[in-house]
Amino acid sequence: MEIKQHALEGVFEFTPRVFADARGAFFESFSEKVLQQAGIQENWVQDNQSSSSQGVLRGLHFQRPPHAQAKLVRVAAGRAMDVVVDLRRTSPTYGQHLAVALDAEKCNILYVPVGFAHGFVALEDNTLFLYKCSNYYHPAAEGGLHWNDPALSINWGIENPLVSDKDQILPFLQDLENPF
pLDDT of 33: 93
pLDDT of 46: 97
Angle at 108 between CA 102 and CA 110, to 5 degrees: 80
Q: Give the residues of the chain that fall short of pLDDT 50.
A: none
Chain-centroid distance, C-alpha 168: 18
Express as a percent the part of the chain with pLDDT over 70: 100
pLDDT of 179: 81
Q: What fold does the segment set 2-144+152-164 form as a domain?
A: Jelly Rolls (2.60.120)
Residues with Cβ within 8 Å of residue 130, at least 6 apart in sequence? 47, 48, 49, 73, 74, 75, 76
pLDDT of 178: 79
pLDDT of 1: 86
The per-residue pLDDT for range 14-30, each reduced to its tens digit, is 999 999 999 998 999 99
pLDDT of 16: 92
Domains of the chain, by residue range, sit at 2-144+152-164
pLDDT of 82: 98
**Known catalytic membership, residue 146:** no
End-to-end CA distance of the chain: 31
pLDDT of 177: 86
pLDDT of 30: 93
Neighbouring C-beta atoms of residue 137, cutoff 10 Å: 13
Catalytic-labelled residue, pool 97, 111, 118, 131 = 131
The per-residue pLDDT for range 140-165, each reduced to its tens digit, is 999 999 999 999 999 999 999 999 99
Separation of alpha carbons 150 and 65, rounded Å: 26
pLDDT of 89: 92
Catalytic-labelled residue, pool 61, 97, 118, 146 = 61
Q: Are 170 and 147 in contact (CB under 8 A)?
A: yes
